[in-house]
Chains A and B, each alone.
Chain A
């Protein structure tokens, strides 16, 4: 359709354009950059942990600081690195893959980012106060009660505000409030992505034609939608216990700490699929492209992803085998856990079959995808091992578990994310990452990663407990701890190589074409980076991998309209304001309660401004 030429007037440079943006691509970039910054923080914490453990009886970190470091490291890596980096890909890629011009709720999308950013910053403000959380990423009750992590006598605001009005800050509060905000951000995003994928697909983009990455995004966001409210309740319970004297985790009053474990893991196990499913989707895009074959067993991949997510809600108590739940419950949860191996195995075999007989191009993205397959499988196998309760009794709280979950989180999620980054970087930036540097990056990562974490299996079965700040010599733990730390430094080096690659590639002159990889999905049909409105005319999808089909078989392309008239949503300050209001509400529990009331007021004003602002057209 040809209409009057008038792209919507909007500024797209300068700080204020970033503060007010509602464009899913820019929000995706904000998410991605922020997540990578937090990854650096979490990575430095990992280096401190490994440095403390490099030799026995080390005094590099105090016991308290060590506890704080693994708590910050675990929480940051999960909630401020992998989850938001996944969200960056959802934001940037999914609307393009389904042929949409934006997400369903552009302003909610911006709000989600701001709440995530402020939540992460609030969490890290604990560094400034000097009271870091020391409760582990799972914050087991009743370590989180006032009895065990009381915090100092006076509040942070000292004499500025009367004593009764402010709250003594403990690191635990930062952990609670930070997570609450991060959870809210993901919840808002989940509603947005679910509606976007269900409702904004281009004509002809039926569910079984959607790219697999879009499928796992949909599934992951359902997991977020249904898992987050559970931890929200649990976090409120400990917050209320600490601030208003409720008795949820007061053993003397009949409270039970098992309740926390149940609520936490009802959220926590789906959470691990929230971390791994999106990278699985990225690998499912990379492997077909560089094998020049369609994804093997596409429907089976969709159903397997859905099955994993569904089963993911029924296995939480495998984290609690050693709590004495009773033989029946233990047996059921063990069996359910082992069941998950079936859909996971289906996926692994489908990925391998995708490559089988393909004409493989071993780009860096492809290397990381293949690396993902190898490392994730190792993590999956050790996972099946501790699905067996008697074996788990030996593994629980040892370094064997640390090895296991780094194989799935790093070897799985992070390798998958790197595959996705190398693959889509030209789409984000209009520049290709250097392949030679990329290969160096891959091999350093693979060597460093395996050297760090494989020995932890040995350390674990040799009896080294996790979350312990040091160990004595003479227990056969020195050698592998040493090599594990060396591996960590190599991994650090690999990260530096990656940043160097990004730096030189962004400064390079060579522009990426729209479709540098001869890829299959719709995002490659438009320029790199895409224009603000994405598609001049909405695609008309006729097949799975429609773009590939048109390029190589049908050879028909919809003619580009000469003039584009697209109504884009106006930039808006309201998401930022509402986000700040919500953050203030949380900050009240860290500093002085007045902030909470100010926050409520700001949020209400923001919500009204939001509702009545002229947003479209």
Chain B
């Protein structure tokens, strides 16, 4: 491949890498996905015929901790991106692992929360609050899990020396996804947990 055709191939009309633009498009779509889940939750949270109700079961302090951890992982992925952009591979690997760790801790908290809820009598099929709560937070958790797998894949392909071509843009695209997953969690945390008092 000659340099000229390479440049032509990567020429884009908007000057943004297509993968990143694609991620923006996906995020737009995800907004409607979570929007529908949140709408369902808001309609159903106080509609149940039988308990437990949100106020009886949701634990704001515990979830605040996991929220904090998730937010910090957004910070660490910025550092990872900075590492790969400035050629500091060691820093990149360190921070990408840290980000994955943050995601995993969040998932750990969620697993704890879910088991605790089930033990206290709130399952998927207990009432409409339970159904909509688990579907909303579960979908978010799945997004975090996909993100963790993606982060670890980036880490391992870097270690195995396969993350060479376009590495920065790959990490950039991933970071965009990760920030989205964090931002949408802030919305969910507000709507599901903090709105308990509303």
Instruction: Give Cα distance in the complex from A190 to B26, angstroms.
Output: 9
Contact with B along A215-238 (1 / 0, CB 8 A): 000000000011111101110110
Q: How far is the CB of B178 from chain A (nearest CB, A)?
A: 17
- Interface hit among A158-166, A194-202, A327-335, A514-522: A194-202
Are B131 and A240 closer than 8 Å at their CB atoms?
yes
A482 interface residue per 8 A CB criterion: no
Are B21 and A199 closer than 8 Å at their CB atoms?
yes
In chain B between 1 and 52, which residues have their CB closer than 8 angstroms to a CB of chain A? 1-2, 4-6, 8-9, 12-14, 16, 18, 21-22, 25-26, 28-30, 32-33, 35-37, 40, 43-44, 47-50
In chain A between 587 and 617, which residues have their CB closer than 8 angstroms to a CB of chain B? 608, 611-612, 616-617
Residues of chain A within 8 A (CB-CB) of B50 are 253
Q: How far is the CB of A235 from chain B (nearest CB, A)?
A: 11
Q: How far is the CB of A446 from chain B (nearest CB, A)?
A: 39
Q: Which of B26, B32, B162 contacts A191, CB < 8 Å?
A: B26
With contacts A237-B40, A565-B2 taken as known, whether A229 is within 8 angstroms of B29 at the C-beta atoms is yes
Are B132 and A230 closer than 8 Å at their CB atoms?
no
B189 interface residue per 8 A CB criterion: no
Number of chain A residues close to chain B: CB under 8 A = 51
Residues of chain B within 8 A (CB-CB) of A234 are 36
Are A191 and B22 closer than 8 Å at their CB atoms?
yes
Number of chain B residues close to chain A: CB under 8 A = 44
Q: Which of B8, B28, B43, B157 contacts A226, CB < 8 Å?
A: B28
**Interface of A, helix, strand, loop or mixed by DSSP:** helix
B124 interface residue per 8 A CB criterion: yes
Instruction: Give Cα distance in the complex from A227 to B30, angstroms.
Output: 11
Are B40 and A248 closer than 8 Å at their CB atoms?
yes
B186 interface residue per 8 A CB criterion: no
- Interface hit among A50-58, A254-262, A523-531, A542-550: A254-262
Are B25 and A225 closer than 8 Å at their CB atoms?
yes
Instruction: Give Cα distance in the complex from A230 to B30, angstroms.
Output: 10
A1 interface residue per 8 A CB criterion: yes
Are B25 and A229 closer than 8 Å at their CB atoms?
no
Residues of chain B within 8 A (CB-CB) of A195 are 18, 21-22, 25
Are A254 and B49 closer than 8 Å at their CB atoms?
yes
Q: How far is the CB of A254 from chain B (nearest CB, A)?
A: 4
Are B22 and A252 closer than 8 Å at their CB atoms?
no
Q: Most chain-B Cβ atoms within 10 A of its Cβ — which of A104, A205, A240, A253?
A: A253
Q: How far is the CB of B38 from chain A (nearest CB, A)?
A: 10
In chain B between 106 and 134, which residues have their CB closer than 8 angstroms to a CB of chain A? 124-128, 130-132, 134
In chain A between 270 and 296, which residues have their CB closer than 8 angstroms to a CB of chain B? none
Q: How far is the CB of B43 from chain A (nearest CB, A)?
A: 6
In chain A between 1 and 18, which residues have their CB closer than 8 angstroms to a CB of chain B? 1, 3-4
Provide 25 A-B residue pairs closer than 8 Å at the C-beta atoms, listed in order of the A residue.
A104-B18, A190-B25, A191-B22, A198-B14, A199-B21, A225-B29, A226-B32, A228-B29, A230-B36, A237-B40, A240-B135, A245-B125, A246-B130, A247-B125, A247-B126, A247-B127, A247-B130, A253-B48, A256-B43, A256-B47, A259-B40, A259-B43, A566-B5, A567-B1, A567-B5
